[in-house]
Amino acid sequence: MSQTATARAPEVLASIALELEHAGELCDRLETLVTQLVRASRGEPLAIALHEAQTLDVLTQHLAALASFTRKLSSQAESEVYDLSDAVAGVTLGDLANRLAQVTRDGPIRAKADAGDLDLF
């Protein structure tokens, strides 16, 4: 019979946040490569490369926002009730913030006017 591994919610959420941050760091490294490839592109492939580079940047921001959200939840996990408004407040991508907030009884939180701005390079 196998042994059951147990952990407390704050530690599990903190571990997930660390893994999301690590994935974001890997995306940052990949973004550097894509940027170099974009600079080397000419003509039609340049537009495609720019679009893909922007997609990678959005993914990096998405991972960072999820890590921040998860880390905030880990600090609240002892109470077993989560203040999603507080956790979502740190999410700067408006669409993601709305999706994360949908589990509340009040429905989606309205994004700030600049909450969906992308940090493109």
pLDDT given at position 90? 86
The answer to whether residue 101 is domain-embedded is: no
> What is the extent of the structural domain holding 36?
9-77
pTM of the model: 0.74
In a domain, 108, yes or no: no
pLDDT per position as a tens digit, 14-40: 999 999 999 999 998 888 887 777 777
3-state secondary structure of 118: coil
Which sign does the torsion angle of CA 98, 101, 102, 106 carry? Answer: negative
Whether residue 115 lies inside any domain: the answer is: no
CA distances (Å), 11 to each of 7, 43, 59, 70, 81, in order? 7, 50, 25, 11, 16
HSE-up of 121 (CA within 13 Å, CB side)? 18
Residue 73 resides in a domain? yes
- Is residue 68, in this structure, part of any structural domain at all? yes
Chain segment 64-85, per-residue pLDDT in tens: 999 999 999 999 998 878 888 8
